[in-house]
Chains A and B, each alone.
Chain A
Amino acid sequence: KQEVTQIPAALSVPEGENLVLNCSFTDSAIYNLQWFRQDPGKGLTSLLLIQSSQREQTSGRLNASLDKSSGRSTLYIAASQPGDSATYLCALGSYGGSQGNLIFGKGTKLSVKP
């Protein structure tokens, strides 16, 4: 059974810092991996999608990497801003599972202080 762990559970940093969020998973047979952002009481916004054949994806100040062999992904946020404060979730899509059936971690709650 696939298990997804996100460390740390919460993180508080001053504005301008570069930071790394971690996601680990137990079964390397994944189809893809996504990072989502969730604001309090809101739905999820997809940030980056990495296919299993890819090593990383970049969007603006965000960079996500994937290492299937070690069961790890990282989300790098450069020059953090107060508007980055949210919960960040990683989610795995598996082979054999239908599209739309994602397995999520519990998330990392990020607070960026002005």
Chain B
Amino acid sequence: DAGVTQSPTHLIKTRGQQVTLRCSPKSGHDTVSWYQQALGQGPQFIFQYYEEEERQRGNFPDRFSGHQFPNYSSELNVNALLLGDSALYLCASSPYGGANVLTFGAGSRLTVL
């Protein structure tokens, strides 16, 4: 079982650019959540996808958007990048109704210059 797979592992962008991060959930999981973890901070919830729809959203601007595909994989898109978007982006999957039992990926480290 490959667990949760995220790509790319590292990337560097400049301010104003756009980025797409990808996540493949653990086998048997149909729900994907995305988190942003700034250096020295705990992860912050961005949003969650189930049945290809955004089900809940944290306190993030509309520059952050996502998508879920029929195979349950997901993308996180960030437009008009700011320096403050530099962070580790974590994807977590779970079975729907799984009472917060999340499996996390290793994350994508985004640096915005």
Co-complex (A, B): yes
Give 29 pairs: A residue, B residue, CB < 8 Å, sorted on A.
A4-B42, A31-B99, A31-B100, A32-B99, A32-B100, A34-B100, A41-B107, A43-B4, A43-B90, A43-B105, A49-B101, A51-B99, A89-B43, A93-B100, A98-B55, A98-B56, A99-B94, A99-B97, A100-B31, A100-B45, A101-B33, A101-B58, A102-B43, A102-B102, A104-B43, A105-B42, A106-B41, A106-B42, A107-B42
Interface centre among A42, A99, A105, A106, by most B CB within 10 Å? A99
When C-beta atoms are compared, the residue in chain A nearest to B42 turns out to be A104
When C-beta atoms are compared, the residue in chain A nearest to B57 turns out to be A101
Partner of B107, one of A43, A89, A97, A104: A43
Q: Which residues of A contact B101 (CB under 8 A)?
A: 46, 49
When C-beta atoms are compared, the residue in chain A nearest to B43 turns out to be A104
Interface residues of B in 84-107 (CB under 8 A from A): 88, 90, 92, 94, 96-107
Partner of A100, one of B4, B40, B100, B105: B100
Q: Which residues of B contact A31 (CB under 8 A)?
A: 99-100
Q: A34-B100, A49-B101 are in contact. Are A102 and B107 (CB under 8 A)?
A: no
- Contact indicator A100/B41 (Cβ below 8 Å): no
B73 interfacial contact with A, CB 8 Å: no
B68 interfacial contact with A, CB 8 Å: no
Interface centre among B43, B55, B58, B107, by most A CB within 10 Å? B43
Q: Which residues of B contact A100 (CB under 8 A)?
A: 31, 33, 45, 48, 56, 92, 94, 100, 102
Q: How far is the CB of B31 from chain A (nearest CB, A)?
A: 6
B22 interfacial contact with A, CB 8 Å: no
